[in-house]
Amino acid sequence: MNPTTLLSRREALARLGLVLGGTLIGGDVWLRGDTVAGKSFVNDFTPADLALLDEIGETIIPATDTPGAKAAKIGAFMVMMVNDCYDDAHHAAFKAGLAAVNAASRAKFGRDFMAATPVERTAMLNELDAEQKRHQATKAKDAPAHYFRMMRQLTIVGYFTSEIGATQALYFAEVPGRFDGNAPYQKGDRAVSSPLSRGLF
């Protein structure tokens, strides 16, 4: 693999924002390539918060025959994106969501998320996913997104734009070729990841 053909994560995120039309939370900031103006929040995340986010991410994308989200340092990625790209309302909702995850875990299992078993964690996050869908369907237009929607979104984007996600979870094709609708495929083959050529968008 020729490393000069790879995009930086910042470039990949900016182009992903273009592909999705800026619909990701904070996507408008990615498209501008800057940070949110007038934010009052500073980095108020603790090492314990990062550890919790790592475990939430790992529950969403666990290690299998390829590394999971924790190996991609997903907690640090989430914190960076929330600090750089979220406005105050989304930052506050995301931060409050960390306490809400632990509160929900204590209510359901009698212990914090970090002490829950993998099966319990998965069950709880499935419930939170259903909750965030209901929230998104009924919330006021200008209200912040549900905290779990942000966590899930950042986990997926962060993992698949990380080196681990792009080169181990996905099959890396260095040079995109012609479309082949009859390319050989076996059940279980990984999806293809290829660098976006400069100027494509």
The predicted-structure confidence for 46-73, as pLDDT tens digits, reads as follows 999 999 999 999 999 999 989 999 999 9
Indicate the SS3 state at residue 155: helix
**Partners of 172 in the beta sheet?**
193
pTM of the entire predicted model: 0.74
The closest alpha carbon to 100, from 133, 60, 127, belongs to 127
pLDDT grade for 196, boundaries at 50, 70 and 90 = very low
Rounded Cα distance, 16 and 38, in Å: 25
Determine what percent of the chain is predicted with pLDDT higher than 90.
47
Rounded Cα distance, 162 and 155, in Å: 10
Tens-digit pLDDT profile for residues 75-109:
999 999 898 888 888 999 999 999 999 999 999 99
- Give residue limits of the domains in the chain: 37-172
